Structure formats: structure tokens, C-alpha cells
Structure 1
Amino acid sequence: MHKQSKCAMCHDYHENRAMISLPCNDYYCINCMKERFMRATKDEGLFPVRCCQKPIPIEVISKHLTLDEMTAIGLSSIEFSTEDRIYCSNPHCHRFQLPARLELGVNRVVCDSCGMSTCTTCKQAYHRGQDCPDDPGTRQVQELAQELGWKTCPSCRRVVILRSGCNHMTCVCKAEFCYECGTRWKNCNCEWGTEHRMLERAEEVVDRDNPFGLPQAERQRRIQQVRADLDDNHDCEHPGRFQRIFNGGRRGFQCEMCDTRHWKYILRCRRCHIDVCEDCRRNRI
């Protein structure tokens, strides 16, 4: 009888000869590994595909992929590694435009899918010989962001909202920056976190772990304890094994990275108190 191992994703047992073994000693069945790579073409936060914080080379699954699947993965790799991206200005298309297709000198790219021409400066419909038009929608978002104190990622220009916690931000494009001043992380002298955001985070953790409430004095004591933990672990890299938390009740558990709700259990870092699902633990952290 051939030796079997449990797939780290679906938890089913398969013969080792039909599984993919990784250096971290995790095993994946062929279908789950394919799913991991194909999901990463749709979700930038899952790119590059990782397990236990280490990238998984496409060679481990390439012989099981179709030509279309290989092409999709290759295009996503180019897209997610491009900083100043341009997408087709046709709202019904909006495909990523390969840097090699940009027409230098005329600030234009023609979509090979729908034929629409897009200005590479303002990223709206091409307007030969005219100044770039003002985009009312973009302007309104920028004004709202300024009014509410939201910041923009210095790499991809996405608007990023920090509800609570420290100033160390990691955008979905992988850029790390200081939320207070907007510069690349660890290139400024800002405090690692503002008091009100850190206190809000401590309150979130205590209330999350005690959905039925606590006596006021005990709640304040725990808030101060969590606040101290956050001070000590503000740049936590989540060393060691996460703690599995069971019995989430009717509300279940919510992953703080992908916002997906889970009913069986959640993984909790003993140091910084973040709750994550198995998927995000393996792929995003």
C-alpha cells in the first residue's frame, strides 16, 4: 500500500505519488495546487503563491496546467509586478495593458481585446492633441479621502483606509508605507502608531473575544493589557504556531485579512492578537 499524506488545503488524504511536496513539508493535491495558482490570477493579495511565507515556483504544477492557464498566470505575473499600471479605459473591458504595448511619444495604448485607445498619462480615453480632461469621479474620491484623512499607496495610488492599529501599512500591491506621512516604511521618523488608533485596536480585540460583554473594570484592565501587547509587538512577524480558537457561536469567526467568515475555527497570533483563516495564514502572511 502506498504511503498517503493529508493535503494542506482540502485536508483529504492522497497517495504521496499523486501529491506535490514543498520544502516546508506541506503536501498539496494536484487540484488544490492548481486552484491556488488560478485564484492568484484574480486576487493580487494571493500573488505570488506562497506556503509558510515562501513562494511556490510554478514548475511544481506547470505540467498539470493547460496552455490557457499558463498564459493567465504569466499575464497576472506581469500585471501584479507592474507599478504604474494602465487598464483599458473602456468600462466594459478594463483589461490590463502590457507595458510592451505602450506607444512611446504619443502617450497611447490600444487594447488588443476591444480596440479602445487609452491615454497613458491620465488613463482615460485617448484624446489626441488635447490636454488630459479632469475626471470628476477621481476628484471626488480624492476630496473625500483628504476630508476623512485617508491615504494613498505611494506605489499603486490606491486609497487605503486605516481603521485602527499601527502606521505600518502593507497594500495589496505589496508596497509597505507609513500611514502617517506616506513614505516607504522605515524611511521616516514618525511614531509607529497613534494613541487613538492603538486604543481602538485594543478595544476591538477585547470586545471581539468577549461578545457577551465584561464588567467595566475588567474590560478596561484587559484593554490596557492588549494595548501593552500591541506596543511590544507592533511589527509582529507572527513567529511560531498560531493558536486555534474554536466555538465561535452563532457569529462564527471573521478573518481580519480577507473578511471571510468561518464557522469551525480561526487562527490567532499569540503576540499581536490578529485573527486569520488558514488560507490567509499560508498565502498572505
Structure 2
Amino acid sequence: MDMIISALIDGFEDVFPLSDDTYAEELQFQEALEASLNLSTTPDQSSSSRHDLTSTPVCRICTEEKQKSDMVQLEGCPHSFCSICMAKHVEYKLQQNIAVVSCPAEDCNNVIQPTGSLRRMMPTDVIARWEEAITASMILDSQKIHCPYEDCSEMLVNDGEEGVVVKESECPSCRRLFCAQCRVRWHQGFDCEEFGKLNRKRKDKEKLRLLARKNKWKECPNCKVFVDKTEGCIHITCRCKFEFCYKCGSRWNERHWKTCQE
């Protein structure tokens, strides 16, 4: 701009050389010309400023233009996103069992909390699950107890004194009894040690049953012992002296030679 004014003044001096008598008049003309050129640039600058103030915000996740009222300004960092995308971002993290949620902007490690504009603009059920996940993440695994009933599974916290063993407990949600020590339904009539032995026997028996099914072993109808036939005929005499057919499992008689013969 200064170069343009200087060139114009130089041009005028070539045509009309300045004298002492006309110096004041020409100086006023120079100042008026400079002011006029400066004013001509003002509207463009003002228009640019007004455009920046009225521009429509764009969500950095869905890349769609949004109303300012739909945007959430995160606390702790300069990033903002639309409330719909932020709700989906938090839900995705909760599905992955992640309670500590960071800003979704790339290379931003700001940890966000369900407070402020996030709390006001996001769905209440998402906020509730988020707060519950944050609370659960602050509890030690050793203190967490889940109700053993499948239709409940409420998470409880064992906040008893150290060294105190809590056994018979009532779930505050379904109001049913369970053993907090064994973490199973209440074993009425058995203490924890007796139930542990009984439970191990049941597990061992189930493992044996699965192994017998896999190897196609037959169970003696009399003493319930599994028998494995490696060779010979289908007529089996168990160690309890009971005779049965290995093919159909019934008591042995002569007609098995015809009906069940291999």
C-alpha cells in the first residue's frame, strides 16, 4: 500500500513540481489520498472477520456441519465434537470394558469425564453406564463379588474387615442367599469345606462321564462302573458279577446272540 501511494505522489511531482507556495496544499491532498486508499480495504477485512464469527462448526468425527448447540466442548483440551458422535465413542469404549475414556482426537491423550456439557448433552443411560464402569474400575478384583444367580449377576463389593470371612450373604438386588466365600448359591446343610469336596467329586464325575461318552464306554447297569471292551464278544461280565450286553446295555440273555450280535 505504501508503495502505491509513493508511486502516485511521484507521478504527481513529475507533472506538477512542488513549490513552497503549494506544499501545504499538496500535503493535504497526499493525506486525503492515503486515507481513502486505507478505507477501501476495511470492508473486506470486516467481512472476513464476520465470516469467521458466523462460520458453521464441523464435527471432526462425522465431518458434518452442526449447530453450535449440538457441539460438545471437551474439558482439558481444545477439541469439540457433536453430542451424537461423543455418545457413540463412549458406548464403544464401554463395550470394550474400557472405563477410562480419552478424547477421540488423534494424538490427544486428554482423559474425559462425564461432567459439564458432556453430562448435559449425552443420553442419561450412557452417562449412567459410564459412571458405573468408572466406579467398578476403582474397586480391586479381590473385592468384587457377583451374584451367582444367572438371572441377576449383580456386582457386589466385599468391604468387610481384613481377615474376616463373609460366607452366608443376601444379594440386595434379587434377595436370594449365596455363599460369598465359595461364590455359589447358598449350600444349605454343608459348610464351605464339605461343599468344596462335594463339588470336586461332582466335577470329577462329570469329567469321567464326558470321557466315557467320547470313548463310547458302557456303564454297568448294576454298579454304574464304566466298562471298556477292547476285544471279545458283546457278552460282558462286570467285576460285580453282573452280566450285560455291551451293545445295548441290558441284562444279558441268550437272545442277544441273535438280536445284538456284532
TM-score computed with the length of structure 2 as normaliser: 0.41
Which entry has the higher C-alpha Rg, 1 or 2? 2
Which structure's residues are more often helix, by fraction? 2
Answer 1 or 2: higher relative contact order, Cα 8 Å, separation at least 6.
1
Which structure's residues are more often strand, by fraction? 1
